[in-house]
Chains A and B, each alone.
Chain A
Amino acid sequence: MNIITCIKQVPGSSKVDVDPKTGVLIRDGSNVKMNPYDLYALETAYLIKEKYADTIVKTITMGPASAKKVLEESLYMGSDEAYLLSDRAFAGADVLATSYSISQMIRKLHPYDLIICGKQTTDGDTAQVGPEIAEFLGIPHVAYVTKIEEVQEDGILVRTSMEDHEEQLKISFPCLITVDKGTLVPRLPSFHRKQRFTGYSIQTFSLKDLEDKDPSHYGLEGSPTQVEEIFPPNKKRDSISIKGDKKTITNSLFEILKEKKYI
């Protein structure tokens, strides 16, 4: 069985401040890490591999050359192969253009049975990339999978967790799932595997390697949404202090609740 896992490199911390005067994002340093939810995508793939022989796990990411780091990490954790999709033509990609680019890359890695994505990222935080990749590939998808119950000849049995109920579903291959944390504990990169992959070179794809080479389908041009402005959230409230003897303050509280129509 062939599994493709999609991972993304994200900022090491989501702590960002915006300079209120200049509107510039202030972020601490250049530290980056693997999107934490993607660790569960990888772990899901590795558990299938352990159970079903002849499973190959390929891991891909779209990002800058420096994103090779997270791909290496995946190799040391359990992936068999890793591929980077990187090109300046992808700059400014929104979800649609990102998903389209990734789907083009996945077509190059044919054949595949199962694609596994994380539930969402900690930076863009849209949770939309997985479903859109599936649509571009014309395959079914199921989001928020918490457990793989069984891998069958023609499909996979999964469990998902929705707001008020759980579902058990069967999806036919090829398909895409996005996984939630469930009960998974992601494994750590192993030293042994690291040694095994010394000298392995991660193959990089760029626009010219894809089937659709029209640059207007990628990057900013291929992105229907555009970020017009970024600003700090308005966290401040005009806190009103109420002081006085117990009768005064209680009356004020009562009046507030009445005014807001709660009493």
Chain B
Amino acid sequence: MSYIKVNQELVTKEVAEKLIKLCPFQAFEYNDSILSIHSGCRICKICVNKGPIGVCEFIESKQQILDKTKYKGIAVYIQQQDGVAHPVAWELIGKAKELARITNEKVIVLVIGHSLDRIAEEALEYGVDQVFLYDDPNYQAFDLERYTNVVEEFFQKHKVNIILFGGTLQGRSFAPRIAARLQTGLTADCTMLDLKENNDLLQIRPAFGGNIMAKIHTPNHRPQMATIRYKMFSAPSKVKPFGIITKEPTDSISKDSHVHVLSLEQKPKGKDISEAEVIIAVGRAFKKEKDLELIQPLMKSLNAEVACTRPLVENGWMDPRRQIGLSGRTVKPKLIINLGISGSIQFIEGMKESELIISVNNDPDNKLFAISDYAIHGDIYEVLPELNKLIQQVWSQRTV
């Protein structure tokens, strides 16, 4: 067993206090002049490396070393419903292709369901090397137990090095089940992935509510598994298909199931700003409801959704579903343009993960500028009409 040994002869009250403070996981306990480490310890070795010298020591035990050359290929699991893939799958293919170039691996796609030919063709258009289909009437609807059996069978047969899952609600419930079945690691909600020369996957993910980032690896187990949220990565452009499609037998895979779907209701569809790629967010700088019309041309040309701060909901100008922030929606668009918003903490919490942030404000001290990629010092009542003119020019050029 690998563990951290505490050399008690070096422990004084001061040393103990120092280590207790240093440990990010509060794993030290100091009782009766004995400093002990309990199960909270993550063996992060901060106490060994940054603590008083010699007090804590890392004792490593020898583990059996895995033959990593036996596992090949980066697999992407495609979540689908009624023959339509969840778009996160294409984004994962994009990432898988990037990683595959590093060590010259194949990109493999795994699809489970019924009548999957269209999805298989589509996957090939994204430039994957191989598609494995587990097509069976019993797989028409997602079933956790049956689908887990399939992934197990897939891995036993193809010995892939990596399997990536979309971090959808379904994926977040499904992937851990498989990880436990295959006795391997699973890193949740990765925001970055990289591949080492030896085919070890480096997985970076936020924890503690996004306050810290952890770099995680799976040095001695295969497959290496990760879930990745929708819209973290980009789908690759389509290519002339070159990969092959293989239909796998499903007869011998157990189809036992203990969960039955009794009914399924679609949630009412309102325009959901959490899904929007481009957002124009408006704030209290707009003096009248009618002034909001100023953003129409920009919305149209950017194909954007409009969102707002809370005061605009409170005075009835906007639907509550369009409010960004702690008491509204969290958004993560590729582009957000903030018009006349001061950047309260409640607002910023709901949009700070946006990819490109542009803000227009006539007060240089507003708090949004500091987190913006572009801080435009200006009056919305001057900038918007001017911008609309430029947009009109583009449109008229197009129609000519």
Contacts and interface: CB of A to CB of B under 8 A. Distances in A.
B179 interface: yes
Contacts of A95: 176, 179, 185-186, 188
A228 B216 contact: yes
Interface residues of A, number: 104
B216 A254 contact: no
Contacts of B212: 16, 18, 25, 230-233
Interface residues of B, number: 101
Contacts, number: 304
Contacts of A249: 376-378, 383
Given A15-B211, A64-B27, A230-B212, A239 B373 contact: yes
B263 A167 contact: yes
A32 B26 contact: yes
Q: Is the interface of B mostly helix, strand, loop or mixed?
A: mixed
Interface stretch (A107-115, A185-193, A255-263): A255-263
A239 B36 CA distance: 47
A251 to B, nearest CB: 7
B39 A231 contact: no
Interface in B357-400: 357-358, 360, 369-379, 382-383, 386-387, 390-391, 394
B383 A143 contact: no
B54 interface: no
A197 interface: no
A13 to B, nearest CB: 9
A2 interface: no
Interface in A150-182: 155, 157, 161-172, 175, 178
A220 B40 contact: no
Nearest to B208: A14
B356 interface: yes
B63 interface: yes
Q: Is the interface of A mostly helix, strand, loop or mixed?
A: mixed
B302 interface: yes
Contacts of B371: 235, 237, 239
B219 interface: yes
A230 B213 contact: yes
A100 B183 CA distance: 10
A18 B207 CA distance: 12
Nearest to B301: A263
Contacts of A18: 212
Contact of B217 (A91, A167, A225): A225
Contact of B259 (A11, A142, A161): A142
A56 interface: no
B188 A127 contact: yes
Given A262-B302, A263-B302, A170 B259 contact: yes
Given A96-B180, A122-B208, 12 more contacts: A92-B2, A95-B188, A124-B207, A132-B179, A225-B216, A226-B43, A226-B217, A227-B214, A230-B24, A251-B390, A254-B387, A254-B391
9 contacts: A86-B38, A91-B43, A95-B186, A96-B179, A125-B207, A131-B174, A132-B176, A166-B267, A231-B212
Interface of A: 11, 14-18, 22-25, 27, 30, 32, 62-66, 86-96, 99-100, 122-132, 134-136, 139-144, 155, 157, 161-172, 175, 178, 215-216, 219-221, 223-233, 235, 237-243, 246-247, 249-254, 256-257, 260, 262-263
